[in-house]
Amino acid sequence: MKALGFIAVLGTGLLLLAASRDFPNWGDPDSPASSYRLSRHFITETINETAVPNMVTAVLADYRGYDTLFEAVVIFTAGIAVIGILRRYGSRNSIPSARETPLTPKKPDLIVESTVRLLIPIIQIFALYVIAHGHHSPGGGFQGGVIFGASFILLALARDLKAAQNWVAEKRTLILACCGILIYAGIGVLCQFLGDNFLDYQILHRILPTDPVMARYHSILVVEIGVAFTVTAIMFSIYSNLSSNGKMKEGI
């Protein structure tokens, strides 16, 4: 098995290497990928067409917004999949809500708890900044969402899962995740109702007090927020399922 695997891997590697001979050199500005009209258009026209300075954000959420929607769906799918695989409900139809799981502190470590208490707000504010500032600097819904989700995971790690669930119960995470997707897709559908293609944000200028280009600009922000919702919720959901082996009672 090992030898066979090695041969297969070696074969794949050599195959890939064989092609790399006629690849452009590292950093070659004239490589087809960089010089093709696609890349050029994104660099030069993004600002005119969407008014977003961060081209990555603009391409992500507008030009290839459809792709990104399904990127969020992949996350959403993973969350649902993990629930499907792992989650074990105690009794039928009983997704516990926040009230049913009272906070049961288990001898919280003073230093850890204080640090966490200090850190979490900072992390969350930073997450919000990353989401909101995606137009102008590296960042956006995914990154911000992950950071935001991490804050809950940190809480769960420092205290226990119930403490974190006190904030975001299972039901709430699911609702949040769905809302995120619905915000994103909803904007797209709204565009359809206004008579344009799915996710063609510019038509929104009819209901927003802006011109078409700025309509794109603002929609991108809304869309990023939607993504952030989903990512936050699903990150935490996956974590809590994995750490409690689907019981959602006590974590690590």
Partner 1 sequence: MIDQAPAIVLLAPFLTAVLVVLVGMKYERACFPLVLLGLSFSVAAAVQTILQVVEAGTLRYYMGGWPPPFGIEFRIDGLNALVALTVSTVALISAVYSKNRVPEENGDKISIYYTLLLLVVTGLLGMVLTGDAFNLYVLLEVSALTSYALIAMGTRRATVAAFKYAIIGTIGASFYLLGVGYLYIKTGSLNMFDIHEVLVAEDLHRSTTVLVAFILITVGVWIKMAFFPLHAWLPNSYTFAPTTTSCLLGPLVTKVMVYVMIRMMLTVFDPVYTFVQLNWGDIVVWMAVIAILVGSLSALAQTDLRRMLAFLIVAEVGYMVGGVWLANTAGLVGAIYHLIADVFMTLCVFLFAGIVFAKTGKREITATHGLFAKMPLTMAGLAVGALSLIGIPPTAGFFSKWYLIQGGMASGHWGYVVALLISSLAMAVLFFRIFEYALFGVKPAEGHGDHHAGDQGKFSEASASILLPLMGTASLVLLIGIFNQSIVSIITDFLVQFNLADPMFR
Partner 2 sequence: MELLKAIVGGMNYWIFIILMMIGLYAMITKNNLVKKLIGMSIFQTSILLFFISLAVKEGATIPILHHDQAHAKQGDHGEGGKHSDPSHKGKEAASAIEEGKEKPSVSHAGSSKIDPDRFTNPLPHVLMLTAIVVGVSTLGVALSITQKLYTEFGTIEENEILDQLKSGDD
Which residues would be at the binding site for partner 2 (CB under 8 A)?
Answer: 1-2, 5-6, 8-10, 12-13, 16-17, 20-21, 23, 25-29, 31, 33-34, 38-40, 42-48, 51, 53-56, 59-60, 64, 67-68, 71, 74-75, 77-79, 81-82, 85-86, 136-138, 142, 211, 213-214, 238, 241-242, 245-246
Of 19-48, binders to partner 1 (CB under 8 A) are 19, 21-24, 31-39, 41-42
How many Å apart are CA 131 and CA 237, to the nearest integer?
Answer: 20
- Cα–chain-centroid distance for residue 74? 9
Report the 10 Å Cβ neighbour count for 229: 25
The piece of 98-106, 110-118, 131-139, 180-188 that touches partner 1 (CB under 8 A) is 180-188
Pick from partner 1, partner 2, none: which does 120 bind, CB < 5 to 8 A by kind? Answer: none
Phi, psi of 26 (to 5 degrees): -55, 125
Q: Which helix (H) or strand (E) holds 62?
A: none
Q: Report the residue number, 113 or 196, with the smaller CB distance to partner 1.
A: 196
Could you say whether residue 195 binds partner 1 (CB under 8 A)? yes
Query: Quick check: 208 and 218 in contact, CB under 8 A?
Result: yes
Instruction: Kindly give, in sequence order, each residue whose CB lies less than 8 Å from that of residue 210, ignoring residues fewer than 6 positions away.
Output: 217, 218
Residue 185: exposure state from Cβ atoms within 10 A (0-12, 13-18, ≥19): middle
Residues near partner 1 (CB under 8 A): 15-16, 18-19, 21-24, 31-39, 41-42, 62-67, 70-71, 73-74, 76-78, 80-85, 87, 89, 92-93, 95, 171, 174-175, 177-178, 181-182, 185, 188-189, 192, 195-203
